[in-house]
């Protein structure tokens, strides 16, 4: 009789991650399934956290030293503390130590946020602000007459340097993850469709630090051949059923169990799974497709022991939208003044490259379906619209979009302009006059809007944008469904901070274009 307890055979050490081979009873795990797996999440998190502690300390020391030298020079200075005088180097050390402790206290090096971008930066800035706020109060209470210019200079310089440092570490971490390092080993649990969806999303988002070592499916699906599921270009082994997840977690050294959708047994199963995982080091993560559209608007509100999930209703007007319009006006006006000489040069190159007008105007649908004349640099031959019908059978885009690589209508200079999105710059005028916004869904053609499904019309609830989620997520390489999902997410969950992040990422995409043709 076979031993029902699954075992793990580690292959000889190699340059890559170890290969795990599952051997056990088919009632518990799939036998003879080989898994390439990175090092334990606890191991890499500990090593990475140590790197952050050292670099944070070095950055803080450098920022405080630079601020002190800028204020006092090389000569040492002393600050009165009641009847005593303390050297400024000592006070600088106190500030630095408090700052480092605040970074730890606010969990800026928590594995859940390390390398995650905006959330990590926000915690770093909050920790810096709290540090200087508390120190300002303490210095006032204990009558530490510290030079204000030194104190004021230290905070912005240090916070900016720390944010830059974390950004550089994040770039390094992302690069390491592309080679399979610094990843959390994950087991995805649920019904097949939900599991495949989660794996697809994890694979598409390089910033997410999960390596899926296997999946656990309902017993009905588990033993269907083959003993694995294929998602995009990945093949993930089916390692167990829903009843033996905790045992498999211990066997494989899994760091995170991701429950996809609503597995068989619902809330009762999830609660039991959480209890089973208590004796392991694994975390339990729930994935819901509701977060695809309503993520930032979801809040948990426990009422007398009853956990309620509150989903805020999106608002499409009000003060926040007025701020967005204000940002559009100021930014577009400044951009037109700064870019005007460059726009003239581009216009001259277009005129020299091919006959026809410099600008191309086309009717597009704006907010609430109202049409406007969108303007852009002409990147195609003058009669491009007349020859469109003959190219429809070569369309390589999905849904209502029309895109083909190596479009014969594109001019020589037009190919360069489109690749780097320079042809879109005249739309800054559309932003200034109020037809468009800096960030928003792509402006659609009226014929595209006529073919929209009911839910897709929600893209028209806000103004279209010069850039948006589609611009930073693959552009023409996106399918129609992916484009709609990104646009709907933005329409219902946008924020000014998110807009600034998209603008920043757009600059990087323009410099290193992906999916532009």
Per-residue model confidence as pLDDT tens digits over 106-130: 999 887 788 777 788 889 999 999 9
Q: Is residue 50 part of a domain?
A: yes
* Residue of 229 and 424 predicted with greater confidence: 424
Q: How far is CA 132 from CA 52, 139, 179, 224, 356, in A?
A: 21, 10, 39, 60, 60
Residue 279 has pLDDT above 60, yes or no: yes
Q: What is the pLDDT of residue 497?
A: 81
What was the pLDDT predicted at 391? 67
Matching residue, tokens 């994890």:
202
| Residue 122 · residue 163 · CB < 8 Å | no
Q: What is the dihedral of CA 202, 204, 205, 206, to 10 degrees?
A: 100
The Cβ of residue 210 has, within 10 Å, a number of other Cβ atoms equal to 22
Q: Are residues 187 and 166 in the same domain?
A: no
Residues in Cβ contact with 412 at an 8 Å cutoff, skipping those fewer than 6 apart: 353, 354
Q: What is the pLDDT of residues 237-278, one digit of tens each?
A: 888 888 889 888 888 888 899 998 888 888 888 889 989 898
On the question of a cis peptide bond just before residue 226, with omega within 30 degrees of 0, the verdict is yes
* Among candidate residues 144, 178, 212, the one where a domain is terminated: 178
pLDDT band, residue 69 (cuts 50/70/90): confident
CATH number of the domain encompassing residue 277: 3.40.50.720
- The answer as to whether 150 is a domain residue is yes
Greatest alpha-carbon pair distance for the chain in Å reads 89
Q: What is the mean pLDDT of the chain?
A: 79
Distances (CA, A) of 44 to 183, 184, 278, 289: 8, 9, 22, 29
Residues 147 and 253 in one domain: no
DSSP state of 464: -
Whether 206 maps to a domain, the answer reads yes
pLDDT digits (tens, 9 = 90+) for 386-440: 666 666 666 655 556 666 777 778 888 988 898 888 999 999 999 999 999 999 9
- In a shared domain, residues 156 and 239: no
Same domain? 424 vs 487: yes
Is residue 199 domain-shared with residue 151, that is, in the same domain? no
CA distance 485 to 201: 12
Do 392 and 467 have their domain in common? yes
Do you know the residue count of the chain? 517
Q: For the chain, how many structural domains are there in total?
A: 3
Within 8 A by CB and 6+ apart from 382, the residues are 354, 355, 356, 357
- Whether 255 maps to a domain, the answer reads yes
32 within some domain:
no
CA-to-CA distance for 362 and 430, rounded, in angstroms?
A: 12
Final residue before a domain boundary, out of 178, 203, 222: 178
What is the 3-state secondary structure of 272-296? HHHHHHHHCCCEEEEECCCHHHHHH
Domain membership of residue 23 (yes or no) is no
Q: In which domain, by residue range, is 49 found?
A: 42-178
Q: Is residue 8 part of a domain?
A: no
75 and 203 in a single domain? The answer is no
Task: Specify whether 341 is located in the same domain as 451.
Answer: yes
Q: Is residue 314 packed enough to be buried (19+ CB in 10 Å), middle (13-18) or exposed (0-12)?
A: middle
pTM of the model: 0.65
In whole angstroms, give the CA distance from residue 85 to residue 73: 18
Residues 372 and 487 placed together within one structural domain of the fold: yes
- End of a domain among 178, 211, 235? 178
* pLDDT, greater one: 364 or 281: 364
Cα distances from 50 to residues 17, 46, 109, 372, in angstroms, run 22, 6, 9, 55
Clarify whether residues 56 and 202 are in a common domain.
Answer: no
**Are 130 and 232 found together in one domain?**
no
Q: Write out pLDDT tens, residues 458-480.
A: 899 999 999 988 888 776 667 77
Q: Is residue 310 part of a domain?
A: no
**Do 377 and 478 have their domain in common?**
yes
């Amino acid at each position: 009789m076979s031993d029902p307890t699954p075992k793990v055979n580690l292959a000889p050490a190699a340059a890559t991650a170890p290969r795990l081979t599952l051997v056990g009873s088919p009632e518990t795990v799939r036998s003879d399934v080989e898994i390439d797996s990175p090092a334990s999440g606890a191991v890499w998190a500990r090593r990475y956290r140590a790197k952050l502690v050292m670099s944070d300390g070095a950055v803080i020391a450098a920022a405080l030293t630079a601020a002190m030298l800028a204020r006092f020079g090389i000569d040492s200075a002393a600050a009165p503390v009641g009847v005593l005088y303390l050297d400024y180097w000592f006070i600088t050390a106190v500030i630095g130590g408090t700052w480092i402790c605040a970074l730890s206290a606010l969990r800026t090096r928590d594995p859940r946020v390390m390398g995650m971008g905006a959330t990590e930066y926000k915690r770093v800035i909050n920790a810096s602000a709290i540090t200087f706020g508390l120190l300002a109060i303490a210095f006032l209470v204990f009558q530490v007459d510290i030079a204000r210019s030194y104190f004021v200079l230290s905070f912005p310089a240090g916070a900016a340097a720390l944010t830059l440092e974390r950004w550089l570490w994040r770039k390094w971490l992302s690069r390491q993850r592309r080679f399979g390092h610094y990843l959390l080993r994950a087991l995805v649990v649920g019904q097949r469709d939900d599991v495949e969806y989660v794996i697809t999303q994890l694979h598409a988002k390089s910033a997410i630090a999960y390596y899926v070592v296997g999946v656990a499916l309902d017993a009905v699906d588990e033993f269907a051949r083959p003993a694995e599921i294929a998602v995009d270009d990945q093949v993930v082994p089916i390692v167990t059923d829903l009843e033996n997840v905790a045992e498999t977690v211990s066997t494989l050294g899994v760091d995170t169990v991701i429950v996809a959708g609503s597995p068989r047994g619902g809330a009762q199963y999830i609660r039991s799974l959480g209890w089973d995982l208590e004796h392991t080091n694994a975390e339990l993560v729930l994935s819901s497709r509701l977060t695809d559209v309503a993520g930032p608007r979801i809040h948990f509100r426990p009422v007398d022991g009853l956990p309620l999930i509150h989903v805020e209703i999106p608002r499409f007007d009000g003060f926040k939208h007025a701020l967005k319009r204000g940002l559009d006006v100021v930014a577009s006006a400044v951009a037109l003044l700064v870019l005007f000489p460059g726009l003239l040069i581009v216009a001259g190159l277009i005129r020299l490259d091919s006959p026809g007008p410099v600008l191309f105007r086309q009717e597009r649908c704006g907010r609430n379906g109202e049409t406007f004349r969108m303007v852009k640099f002409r990147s195609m031959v003058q009669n491009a619209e007349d020859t469109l019908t003959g190219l429809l059978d070569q369309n390589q885009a999905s849904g209502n979009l029309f895109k083909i690589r190596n479009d014969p209508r594109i001019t020589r200079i037009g190919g360069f302009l489109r690749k780097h999105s320079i042809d879109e710059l005249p739309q800054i005028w559309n932003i200034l006059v109020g037809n468009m916004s800096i960030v928003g869904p792509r402006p659609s053609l009226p014929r595209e809007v006529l073919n929209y499904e009911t839910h897709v019309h929600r893209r028209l609830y806000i103004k279209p944008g010069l850039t948006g989620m589609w611009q930073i997520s693959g552009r023409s390489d996106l399918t129609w469904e992916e484009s709609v999902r990104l646009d709907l997410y933005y329409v219902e969950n946008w924020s000014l901070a998110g807009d600034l992040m998209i603008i920043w990422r757009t600059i990087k995409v323009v410099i290193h274009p992906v999916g532009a043709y």
